[in-house]
Amino acid sequence: MKTVWLHTIDSTNSEALRRLPELPSGTVLAAYDQTAGRGQRGNSWFTEPGRNLTFSIVLKNLPLSALEAIRLNYLASVAVASFLDGKGVKAHVKWPNDIYVSGKKISGMLIENTLAPDGRLAAAVIGIGLNINQREFPQLANATSLACCTGREYPLEDSLEEFLALFEDLLPGLSSEELRDSYSARLFRRGVSARYHDLLTDEEFEGIIEGVEADGRLRIRDLRGTARLYRFKEVSYLL
Ligand code: BTN
């Protein structure tokens, strides 16, 4: 992988998408300051300049169909969780791809794909925001960082290279059962009875998250013993 550090950019994902034709697979665009970071569901991603990791990994010619693209979430989520493990911090994945430590969000991802005419993924831009050294989150009650968890500070460049080494190690197993199992094992609230909102039927229910199916759907077993399967935006967590 080849990392290019940018001083200031609107969004590393937007920049990677603009420059996609010219960027070789394995290019990583990282920014010290992102002025218009983009998050899930059209939200913004704000971080203090120079304190956190905000970067996008460009991958091309992946052996994935559009339906299999969810595996990139598994890969990126497991890589972030392993990186945090290495720092002594236990992280969980709030399905599909928010990374939480002790109930607070430390990392989020925005994965944007382009499709080839045959339905395969032509390119993926895997955008990751990982809070490293920021200590205060005035507008975000539910956010945290590695420094908040450990009381230490970390050089951003070395941290990114460490993360990328883990990511690269996992890449050959992109379609493996093992990766899906590692992802399932990290799911927030896995094996614990909790309440959910089925957004398809507008019904609240109690159940236990068991893992993800091969097609990426989340499997929650309700109290009647029925396995309920959900795609993104079909279920939400209740407190
Ligand atoms: C979310 O949890 O809402 C996803 C946040 C994704 C943020 C990262 S930061 C690097 C990349 N560039 C962006 O504009 N967004 C992603």
Full strand arrangement of the beta sheet holding 203-212: 227-230, 218-222, 203-212, 193-198, 235-237
Q: 220: buried, middle or exposed (CB in 10 Å: 19+, 13-18, 0-12)?
A: buried
207 lines ligand 1 (CB under 6 A): no
**Is any ligand 1 atom within 6 A of the Cβ of residue 54?**
yes
Q: At 10, give phi and psi (nearest 5°).
A: -60, -55
Kindly state if the Cβ of 216 falls inside 6 Å of ligand 1: no
**pLDDT of the residue at 71:** 94
Average pLDDT, the chain: 96
Ligand 1 atom at minimal distance to the Cα of residue 38: 14
Report pLDDT for 119.
Answer: 86
100 within ligand 1 shell (Cβ under 6 A)? no
pTM exceeding 0.85 = yes
CA of 99 to the centre of ligand 1 (A): 12
Judge contact between 130 and 86, C-beta under 8 A.
Answer: no
What's the gap in Å between 127 CA and the centre of ligand 1?
A: 5
Long-range residue pairs from 200-208, CB within 8 A, at least 24 positions apart, any chain: 200/234, 204/238
Tell me: the pLDDT tens digits for 14-69? 999 999 999 999 999 999 999 999 999 889 999 999 999 999 999 999 989 988 99
Confidence bin at 186 (pLDDT 50/70/90): very high
Give me the pLDDT at residue 228, please.
Answer: 97
Any atom of ligand 1 within 6 Å of the Cβ of 56 = yes
Instruction: For residue range 97-127, list pLDDT tens digits in order.
Output: 899 999 999 999 999 999 999 889 999 999 9
Distance 192 CA to ligand 1 centre (A): 29
Q: pLDDT at position 239, please?
A: 79
pLDDT bracket for residue 140 (50, 70, 90):
confident
Query: Which of 54, 156, 232 is the best mutation target for the ligand 1 pocket, counting ligand atoms within 8 Å of the beta carbon and taking the most?
Result: 54
Torsion angle of the four alpha carbons 76, 77, 80, 81, in this order, in degrees rounded to the nearest 10: -150
CA 84 to chain centre: 13
Residue 10: what pLDDT?
98
Choosing from 17, 53, 72, 110 the residue with most ligand 1 atoms within 8 A of its CB, the one to mutate for a pocket test is 110
Atom 7 in ligand 1: residue holding the nearest Cα:
129
Long-range contacts formed by 209-218: CB under 8 A, 24+ apart? 209/95, 210/184, 211/180, 211/181, 211/184, 211/185, 211/187, 212/74, 212/95, 212/180, 212/183, 212/184, 212/187, 214/180, 215/67, 215/70, 216/70, 216/71, 216/73, 216/96, 218/95, 218/96
pLDDT of the residue at 129: 98
Cα of 23 to ligand 1 centre, how many Å?
19
